[in-house]
Amino acid sequence: MIIRELTAFEPDMLLDLYNSVGWTNYTRAPEMLLKAYEHSLLTLGAYDGGKLAGIIRTVGDGFSVVFIQDLLVAPEYQRRGIGTRLLQEIVSRFPDVYQMDLMTDNTAKTVSFYRSAGFVKADDMGCCAFIKM
């Protein structure tokens, strides 16, 4: 598995990956998704040969905040450490950032994954999150 920075985005590969994990809110608006990728802080892809197996996308200023917007791994590649490698790579690229944030599904699987990577739930720190969609 090769992890590399993405600067050019292939719409079909992105849409296939998002569809594979059921993130259809993104795939229903492909133009928005591509614009979001073009304006992201840093995006890394995990490749198995020419196949995009996973991706992590960040937004923010890179100094006070980095927000992990998307982290997804195709189902056939899950449970192989790819998500962990992508997350570790982002953390290592922003060692001095004041805070690294993300929002995710509140499931035992995702909570366990992010806790194992050193993240804590916002409410554990006396914080709460708000969202407007």
Q: Which residues of 27-63 are buried (b: 16+ CB within 10 A; e: fewer)?
A: eeeeeebeebbeebbbbbbbbeeeebbbbbbbbbeee
Q: What's this model's pTM, rounded to 2 decimal places?
A: 0.89
Q: Is the pLDDT of residue 43 over 90?
A: yes
Q: What is the mean pLDDT of residues 20-39?
A: 90
Query: In terms of residues, how long is the chain?
Result: 133
Sequence ranges of the domains in the chain: 2-125
pLDDT of residue 42: 97
Exposure string (b/e) for 7-19, b if CB count within 10 Å is 16 or more?
A: eebeeebbbebbe
Q: Is the pLDDT of residue 120 over 90?
A: yes
Fold of 2-125: Aminopeptidase (3.40.630)
Q: How many percent of the chain have pLDDT more than 70?
A: 100
- 56 against 27, higher pLDDT: 56
